[in-house]
Structure 1
Amino acid sequence: MISTPAVPDVDPVQFLKIAGQGAQLRTHADLWRWLQGEVQSWLPHDILLVGWGDFRAGDLQYDIISSLPGLRTHLCPASRIAPLVNYFRDCWVAAQSQPCELDISGCGQLLGEAGQGWAPAAGMPGMHSALVHGMGDSRLGGERIFAALSSDPAPAAGPAALKLLVPFVDSSLRRMPPAPMRQPGAERSQVEHLVVRLGQLSERERQIMVWVAMGKTNPEIGCILRISEFTVKNHMKSIFSKLDVTNRAQAVARLTRMAAYA
């Protein structure tokens, strides 16, 4: 369902402060800190998803800015993100290129399914609302779509706030190199690199964690490593104990948090 709420009054003092900070963004870290700072009181959200490119040709890039475990651009597969970006773009076009509010309770399942391969779905709250806006990209001959996703209902001032914030996000992203997207076939090597950092694990436990982080089940891991499912379960118990976690999602979250601070 698409709605375009009336634009409410905006506090000019607060906007000038946020705008002044937004004009100085130079790195992805700056952008993340800005979005997690006072912007949250003005436009509360869990994920900012930005997609751009030639939507008709399907030639898209994306960037994900979030504090949720595992939600990093280089960890999220394009095959899962592209349908969301396309959906948000279609909604924005249907709203006559105006900022719109979406009920994405159903789309939250798509995000959850995506988590099976790159982020623990159990560790990520379901997204229920999205504020979406976009702009033409004359330089690249395409469009840029901005979606602020939240596990809570969108605030009344959300569409107006997003419309005012989009130029700052857009200009900051243009000033910095795009965050690396996950490349097909690169998942295992990326995960292996991170798992090596878990020095408290044995070699076999590290092998198992690589496949756990890639979304494989115990029976699948057993087949891959040519060991029994029972043996895999015993190794998982040892992994949980060493990492001080109680389930697979927490173990992978530990890994992805290491990626965020690497």
Structure 2
Amino acid sequence: MNSLSKEQTAAVAAFIQACHSVSTLQDFRTVVGPRLRDVLPHAMFACGCMRMADRRIVEAVNLSFPAAFMNGFVVEDNHCPCPALRRWVETRSPVFVDPDSSLLLPGDRAWLANAERHGIRNVAIHGVMSLSQEHACYFSFGNLDQWNRETAFLLQLLAPHLHYALTHVEEFGNKRPKKILTEREQEVLKWICGGKSNSEMASILGISSWTVKIHVSNLLAKLNASTRGHAVAKAISSGLIEV
């Protein structure tokens, strides 16, 4: 950290301490996120796990990218066409992409135009490989204030600690505790698996549709799922429900 100022060094130290103290995804969002922004100013951040062979997103966590943009972040079979992610897989070094980037291929213009529609001026990505080198955790930043050699150095410095934090939170990967949901949320999840609507669940459980809606929203948040189907898939893979 010799190239960092005293203020930057203090911010990095606070960030590292935060990364090594979190145990939940909520901690990752509220504790690590702000300290990460102190070290590396940016407007948007998302991360996850991908398969190296085809850039298939296995699991994703979005902290601040526009939801509408993230809904189109992956295409068929969860493949991610992001040019920065493609370049990172090739080089495994910090990558920065903006409209003037020499890394863009002709087919990347549609992706870039979509990003610009959502107010995303640039994207930077770095990651950490798994020991098997079959998967990697990636860390994606949107609208960085600047990009230079120091910024790339910071990404290399921060990524291993982000990797540690992400892979140690309870809700990421296959570490989800059996009691993550309340008994009522577990009931709602069971009926979601059965294809029941909110009104049908309300009738079965003897509660209002509004209350069912709240339970559904809570369990989606706890499972870090974007849809009901996504929640069911995550619940099955983590052993919360059996099929």
Shorter-normalised TM-score: what interval? 0.5 to 0.7
Q: Which residue of 1 aligns with 2:129?
A: 136
Q: What one-letter code is carried by the residue in structure 2 that aligns with 1:45? A: H
Give 1:220's aligned residue. Answer: none
- Aligned residue-pair number: 179
Q: Distance in 1 between matches of 2:164 and 2:115?
A: 27
Match runs of 1:167-246 below 5 Å: 167-176=160-169, 177-178=171-172
What's 1:100 paired with?
95
Is there any run of 5+ residues in structure 1 with no aligned partner, and where? 1-6, 113-120, 181-185, 200-255
Q: In the alignment, residue 172 of structure 2 is paired with which amino acid?
A: P
1:38 equivalent to 2:35? Answer: yes
SS at structure 2 position matched to 1:64: strand
1:155 positional shift = 4.8
Which structure 2 residues correspond to residues 1-262 of structure 1 after superposition, within 5 A?
9=4, 11-57=8-54, 59-67=56-64, 70=67, 78-79=74-75, 82-85=79-82, 87-94=83-90, 96-103=91-98, 106=109, 107-111=111-115, 125-139=118-132, 141-150=134-143, 153-156=145-148, 157-176=150-169, 177-178=171-172
Note the residue ranges of structure 2 that are not aligned, 5 or more in a row. Answer: 101-108, 175-191, 203-207, 211-216, 224-243
Alignment partners' CA distance in 2, 1:62 and 1:261? 14
1:127: how far off?
0.9
Kindly provide the amino acid, as one letter, of the partner of residue 18 in structure 2. Q
Determine what percentage of the aligned residue pairs are the same residue: 13
CA RMSD of aligned residues (A): 4.5
Deviation at 1:47, TM superposition (A): 2.9
Contact 1:46 1:149 in 2 (8 A): yes
| Deviation, structure 1 residue 54 | 2.6
Residue 153 of structure 1 and its aligned partner are, at CA, apart by 4.2
Q: CA deviation at 1:19?
A: 0.9
Deviation of residue 16 (structure 1)? 1.2
TM-score (norm 2): 0.54
Partner Cα distance (1:108, 1:159) in 2? 21
Secondary structure at the aligned position of 2:67 is classed as coil
Shift of 1:261: 9.8
Q: What is the letter of the counterpart of residue 154 of structure 1?
A: Q
- Is the CA contact 2:44–2:63 (under 8 Å) kept in the aligned structure 1? yes
Deviations 1:197-247 (A, max 9, x none): 996xxxxxxxxxxxxxxxxxxxxxxxxxxxxxxxxxxxxxxxxxxxxxxxx
- If asked which structure has higher relative contact order (CA below 8 Å, sep 6+), I would say 1
